[in-house]
Amino acid sequence: MSATAIKGLCAVLLCCMPSCAVGPNFERPKPPSIESYTTGTMPTMTIPVDGKAQRFEQGAKIVSDWWQLFNSPKLDEVVKEAIANNQNLQAAQASLRQSQDILRAGYGVFYPQLDAGLGASRQKSAPALTGGITPSGIFNLFTLSATVSYTLDVFGGERRAVENLGAQVDFQHAMVSATYITLSGNVVNAMVAQAGYQEQIRATEQLIDLQREQIKLTEEQAQSGTVPYATVLSLQSQLASFEATLPPLLLKINQTEDLLATLVGRTPADWAPQQVELADLTLPGELPITLPSQFVRQRPDIIAAEAQLHSASAEIGVATAALFPSFTLNGDYGVGSNTSNNLFKSNSSFWSLGGNISAPLFRGGTLWYGRQAALDAYQISLANYRQTVLSAFAQVADTLRALEHDAELVHAQSRALNAAEESLRLIQTNYQAGTANYIQVLVADSQYHQAKIGYLQALAQRYQDTAALFVALGGGWWNAEEK
């Protein structure tokens, strides 16, 4: 077989591309036909608190670096460090690169497979095996050959397999986005929690100091007989209750700092946490809300579930193609001789050209039920996709309602704090005028600090739920390339 014939064979093999692919062609599920995330009328804004309300802007753009809306350089620095060093994010990125390389490898099935062989051996013939009567002889054998094979993907099984690999790439890409969004959300949540705990610890310590001072004065009054000793015991019990709230807060702030160290890819002993105050944070006033019709195309866990659904659809095609015959073309060309000097002479060449058809006739139901299993797997993926969509919409609805009620709670706690502060001011004025005793001042001061702790807890929760809304809506990762 000449070199021209080999080239012709390769051209024929390249032209023998598949003409059809069995199994369903994947279609993306349609978004839910709804216009709101919540029951009834969707909220447009929260009630004003301290002169500021949060507004929900339908269809507004969500920036990819949404945490910068809190206007805290320290917060930005920690998020940036976490994105650069977090191990979960690096693992997700490596998994994406792996899936992309596997897909590139899978595309090789669409090309002819060309192999070359070079052999040298010393053999002894046995003429008796072929009915010969000549004496056996010892000789050398040198061969140089090339083999071309091509699988004709007539029923599209290979194309569906590569389609499945492409769906896996989409899945891993969505997982990178999900990890990125979850990471940034966890960092913001932890930083806000750290600031809130620190503020509560300071307020609790001040409250404990005031309570101890009140107990000291009450003990003096009990010794002088002006108040019963039961009052002292009551105050001591209250002090113990205040002191009991301090260790859990200290534990929480330690755990939060350890969590932040882990998120930024460091050990707790090797990382000094950034100290952020609640006063350093700005509550975002304009909150963009993705339209429900776009939501399912942007939230990473929904995209990942869709990719798994696509993969299951492609597997149906693979299982269906396995029921049909497979076709393979192959050709060999080479030269052989018992001496290396004669290896490239014209009479040393050999070649072969052929094709194979392999059709499954009886497999005991293996292929048939394998396809049924692929159909069942698709139904599982479809149900999982629908459940993911439902859970995602519920999460957004919960967060919107949480922000509504957070504003109400902060408003109520702010009123309580203002009332306690005004009461303390009046008691202090009366004390300076001689119409109130010092114990009354301490009691009013204690009530003020308790109201302040409640206000700080509500304020921190509002910041955290604001961050949770950005995470629930997908974090704006699709807008990152526009910057």
Q: How many domains does the chain have?
A: 1
Specify if 337 maps to a domain. Answer: no
Three-class HEC string of the chain: CCHHHHHHHHHHHHHCCCCCCCCCCCCCCCCCCCCCCCCCCCCCECCCECCECCEEEECCCCCCCHHHHHCCHHHHHHHHHHHHHCHHHHHHHHHHHHHHHHHHHHHHHHCCEEEEEEEEEEEECCHHHHCCCCCCCEEEEEEEEEEEEEEECCCCHHHHHHHHHHHHHHHHHHHHHHHHHHHHHHHHHHHHHHHHHHHHHHHHHHHHHHHHHHHHHHHHHHHHCCCCHHHHHHHHHHHHHHHHHHHHHHHHHHHHHHHHHHHCCCCHHHCCCCCCCHHHCCCCCEEEECCHHHHCCCCHHHHHHHHHHHHHHHHHHHHHHCCCCEEEEEEEEEEEECCHHHCCCHHHEEEEEEEEEECCCCCCCHHHHHHHHHHHHHHHHHHHHHHHHHHHHHHHHHHHHHHHHHHHHHHHHHHHHHHHHHHHHHHHHHHHHCCCCHHHHHHHHHHHHHHHHHHHHHHHHHHHHHHHHHHHCCCCHHHHHHC
Residue 481: the pLDDT is: 62
Count other Cβ atoms within 10 Å, centred on residue 7. 10
CA distance 332 to 322: 27
Specify if 452 maps to a domain. Answer: yes
Specify if 265 maps to a domain. Answer: yes
Specify if 13 maps to a domain. Answer: no
Specify if 7 maps to a domain. Answer: no
Where in the sequence is the domain holding 377, given as residue range(s)? 23-111+153-323+365-482
Residue 227: the pLDDT is: 81
Residue 129: the pLDDT is: 64
Residues lower than pLDDT 70 in the chain = 1-19, 128-134, 481-483
Residues found in the chain: 483
Specify if 342 maps to a domain. Answer: no
Tens-digit pLDDT profile for residues 171-192: 999 999 999 999 999 999 999 9
Specify if 344 maps to a domain. Answer: no
Query: Domain containing 53 — which CATH number?
Result: 1.20.1600.10
Burial environment of residue 479 by CB neighbours within 10 A (0 to 12, 13 to 18, 19 or more): middle
Specify if 144 maps to a domain. Answer: no
Give the global pTM.
0.87
**End-to-end distance of the chain based on CA atoms, in angstroms?**
60
Q: Which residues of 437-452 are buried (b: 16+ CB within 10 A; e: fewer)?
A: eebbbbbbbbbbbbbb
Q: CA distances (Å), 473 to each of 67, 180, 288, 317, 397, in order?
A: 14, 13, 9, 34, 10
Q: Which of 239, 249, 243 is nearest to 198 (CA)?
A: 249
